[in-house]
Amino acid sequence: MPACSFDYAIIRVVPSVERGEFVNAGVVVFSREKRYLGAQVELDRGRIQALAPTADLDAIEQHLEVFPLLARGGKDAGPLGELTQAERFHWMTAPRSTIIQVSPVHSGCSDDPAAELEQLMATMVRPPQ
């Protein structure tokens, strides 16, 4: 079976928007062909505190937790959870100028978008081992 395309974006925390510094905190992956939308987040509190010692880490974490909830969809995600996967992906990846931002959308090819989500978390979000 040929590889399927997928799109992804990196979820970033920009604790001081004026400075433009950010920490990667998650990934959202969408594959229309596989009918897959997934997101994972992991907040590295130490890295955020290094950039912004007074950042409200609990509030940031609460905002990040919305991404996996929206990816799963359904009533627990509120009105946005009722949108299609494509609509939810586009909502999550829309540009914004808040503390939580996303990278430009990138594309790839894979038969297993869930495995790509794990790989992107390992290479783009978690500190190098």
Contacts of 121 (CB under 8 A, 6+ apart): 26, 27, 40, 42
CA dihedral for 90, 41, 122, 45, sign (positive or negative)? positive
At 2 the pLDDT is 58
CA 61, CA 108: separation in Å to the nearest integer?
28
User: Where in the chain are the domains?
Assistant: 4-109
Is residue 58 within 8 A of residue 86, CB to CB? The reply is no
Give per-residue pLDDT as tens, 31-77.
Answer: 999 999 999 999 999 999 999 999 999 999 999 999 999 999 999 99
Bridge partners for 27 per DSSP: 10, 40
Of residues 28 and 98, more confidence is placed in 28
Contacts of 79 (CB under 8 A, 6+ apart): none
Question: Binning pLDDT at 50, 70 and 90, where does residue 21 land?
Answer: very high
